[in-house]
Amino acid sequence: MSSTATASALPFGAKPQEKKKNSTAEVVAASMVGTAIEFYDNYCYSIAAASYFGLIFFTDVAKSNPVLATLLAFVTFAVSFLARPFGSLLFGHFGDKLGRKKTLVAALMMMGIATFVVGLLPGYDVLGPASVVLLCACRAFQGVGLAGEWSGAALVATENAPKSKRALYGSFPNLGAPIGFFCAYGVNLVLDTVLTTDQMVAFGWRIPFLLSIFLVVVGLVVRLRMAETPVFQKAAAEDRVSKTPLLDLRHHWKRVVLGTCAVSITYTLFYLLGTWSLSYGVSTLGFSQPQYLGFELIAVFFFAAFIVVGCLCADRRGRKPVLVVATAATLVFGLVSPLLLGSGTVAGVMAFLCVGFVCMGAVFGPCGSYLPELFPANVRYSGAGLSYNLAAIVGGAFAPTIASALVMNFGLGAVGLYLASMAVVSLVALAFFKESRDMDYER
């Protein structure tokens, strides 16, 4: 193949002779930092939606029905998820056509700017209904940026990984989740401790969103320093880069459906633990906001630990056995979770959070290799990203809203059945999943 043809297939700005390999430290940093920011942004929004946005953006409703105002705030939380498939199609197209590196930088910038702007928005008292429209617009742009983040980060990790450690490398972006969680909940815990409730409503809720700009700068520096993945470089050199990735993805629609259903339980579990339970614990169980945030910060260490445990087991035993066992454990947890949370005791709540995050880590960890391995290199960014972000809608977009409505109408036990039923959906999808660890990852 001519040098001109090779150059045209490479990402914009890359040199045809580029042979630089990313060190393990660069892979860890580049794949982890973006997802840490992604989850930090999402958690900051989920905390604000559960605690403040009902009063700030639905002021008239909150005066007469605070619970309904919180439900409406949770609906704005779902806007990001609804925008994600469009982000997957956008960033997946460029990620598969132009390369992982440039696309990840663009996704990070869109995500970071949208989050920062949320911290500047006037509330309902200033703009009326227009404030809600602007909030939803920011949330939509945030979702589009988020959609391009995880899949690209997973590819940076797994396409730089030795074959025998691909699941372990795939844990790097997923470890960004507990890091982002810890930072978001830690910042909010400090603010809730230092500021009064009135001060948090007046201006304190903005601070976590504005602080995100510093994380974005760090992420951009790390991403701009890394090299393109060797898998994409090889595909470009051999002229195997798709000119129409989204069109080519139609041949793999069954894998998209299986991937979506198999990992949707991760989102359901996560947003019940991290978002809905915060609102329920404070408004119904009577814990203070700082107290419940403290519980969450302790439990997140179990999340991080079992991401690694799940990935180590996935490299040894295969992705499917680990995902099946972890999802089955989540089903059992769903059935007993109302007893734990409903006890209203510190011990019961901590057991609910810690066991839940153990299940979450064990399911979420192997997804970093499971989804990318479902697709060949020429549609991997598009396929893995679309599966992951459709799972966000199926499993997480309305999970806090559904849980709140179930409790209002049927009691806490209905939330446990909801979680268990989502685990069944994932188990059915996994039953059709054929282990793909040994597929040619570079074809």
| Residue 122 DSSP one-character state | -
pLDDT greater than 60 at residue 255 = yes
Type of residue found at 230? P
Answer whether 234's CB lies under 8 Å from 378's CB: no
Summarised one tens digit per residue, pLDDT across range 321-371 is 999 999 999 999 999 999 999 999 999 999 999 999 999 999 999 998 899
127-162 burial, b at 16+ Cβ within 10 Å, e below that, comes to eeeebbebbbebbbbbbbbbbbbbbbbbbbbbbbbe
Residue boundaries of the structural domains of the chain: 22-431
Residues of the chain with pLDDT > 90, as a percent, come to 47
Q: How far apart are CA 91 and CA 94, in angstroms?
A: 5
Place of tokens 């000119």: 243
Q: How far apart are CA 397 and CA 79, in angstroms?
A: 8
Q: How far apart are CA 223 and CA 316, in angstroms?
A: 30
Kindly indicate the confidence band of residue 19, based on its pLDDT and cuts at 50, 70 and 90: low
Kindly indicate the confidence band of residue 253, based on its pLDDT and cuts at 50, 70 and 90: very high
Specify the pLDDT at position 11. Answer: 45
Q: How far apart are CA 229 and CA 234, in angstroms?
A: 9
CATH number belonging to domain 22-431: 1.20.1250.20
As a dihedral over the C-alpha atoms of residue 406, residue 407, residue 413, residue 415, rounded to 10 degrees, the angle is 50
Helix (H, G, I), strand (E, B) or coil at 123: coil
Specify the pLDDT at position 436. Answer: 57
Specify the pLDDT at position 82. Answer: 86
pLDDT greater than 70 at residue 440 = no
Q: How far apart are CA 134 and CA 120, in angstroms?
A: 11
Q: How far apart are CA 109 and CA 59, in angstroms?
A: 31
Summarised one tens digit per residue, pLDDT across range 164-205 is 888 999 888 899 889 988 999 899 999 999 999 899 999 999
Specify the pLDDT at position 137. Answer: 94
Q: How far apart are CA 82 and CA 89, in angstroms?
A: 13
Answer whether 337's CB lies under 8 Å from 416's CB: yes
Summarised one tens digit per residue, pLDDT across range 209-233 is 999 888 888 888 888 888 787 878 8
Kindly indicate the confidence band of residue 13, based on its pLDDT and cuts at 50, 70 and 90: very low
Residue 155 Cα distances to 152, 228, 233, 321, angstroms? 5, 10, 13, 22
Mean pLDDT on 53-67: 89
Helix (H, G, I), strand (E, B) or coil at 191: helix
Type of residue found at 259? G
Kindly report the average pLDDT of the chain as a whole number. 87
Kindly indicate the confidence band of residue 236, based on its pLDDT and cuts at 50, 70 and 90: confident
Count the neighbouring beta carbons within 10 Å of the beta carbon of residue 109.
15
Answer whether 212's CB lies under 8 Å from 40's CB: yes
Long-range CB contacts (< 8 A, 24+ apart) of 9-14? 9/236, 9/237, 9/239, 9/241, 10/99, 10/228, 10/233, 10/236, 11/98, 11/99, 11/101, 11/102, 11/228, 11/232, 11/236, 12/98, 12/99, 12/102, 13/102, 14/99, 14/228
Higher pLDDT, residue 290 or 335 = 335
Mean pLDDT on 294-314: 94
Summarised one tens digit per residue, pLDDT across range 89-135 is 898 888 888 888 888 888 888 888 999 999 999 999 999 999 999 99
